[in-house]
Amino acid sequence: MPVLNILHLVGSAHNDFYCDLSRLYAQDCLAATADPSLYNFQIAYITPDRQWRFPDSLSREDIALTKPIPVFDAIQFLTGQNIDMMLPQMFCIPGMTQYRALFDLLKIPYIGNTPDIMAIAAHKARAKAIVEAAGVKVPRGELLRQGDIPTITPPAVVKPVSSDNSLGVVLVKDMTEYDAALKKAFEYADEVIVEAFIELGREVRCGIIVKDGELIGLPLEEYLVDPHDKPIRNYADKLQQTDDGDLHLTAKDNIKAWILDPNDPITQKVQQVAKRCHQALGCRHYSLFDFRIDPKGQPWFLEAGLYCSFAPKSVISSMAKAAGIPLNDLLITAINETLGSNKEVLQN
Top-confidence residue, 255 or 221 = 221
Specify the pLDDT at position 245.
53
Question: Tens digits of per-residue pLDDT, 315-338?
Answer: 999 999 999 999 999 999 999 999
Mean of all residue pLDDT scores within the chain:
91
- CATH domain 200-306 topology: D-amino Acid Aminotransferase; Chain A, domain 1 (3.30.470)
Counting residues of the chain whose pLDDT is more than 70, the rounded percentage is 88
Decide if domain 4-111 falls under CATH 3.40.50.20: yes
Indicate the pLDDT class of residue 343, thresholds 50, 70 and 90: very low
Question: What dotted CATH number matches 140-196?
Answer: 3.30.1490.20
Indicate the pLDDT class of residue 228, thresholds 50, 70 and 90: low
Q: Which of 223, 206, 235 is nearest to 299 (CA)?
A: 206
Asked if pLDDT for residue 1 goes beyond 70, the answer is no
Question: Tens digits of per-residue pLDDT, 168-201?
Answer: 899 999 999 999 999 999 999 999 999 999 998 8
Indicate the pLDDT class of residue 342, thresholds 50, 70 and 90: very low
Asked, colleague to colleague, whether 4-111 and 200-306 share their fold, the answer is: no
Asked if pLDDT for residue 248 goes beyond 60, the answer is no
Question: Tens digits of per-residue pLDDT, 53-106?
Answer: 999 999 999 999 999 999 999 999 999 999 999 999 999 999 999 999 999 999
What are the sequence ranges of the domains in the chain? 4-111, 140-196, 200-306
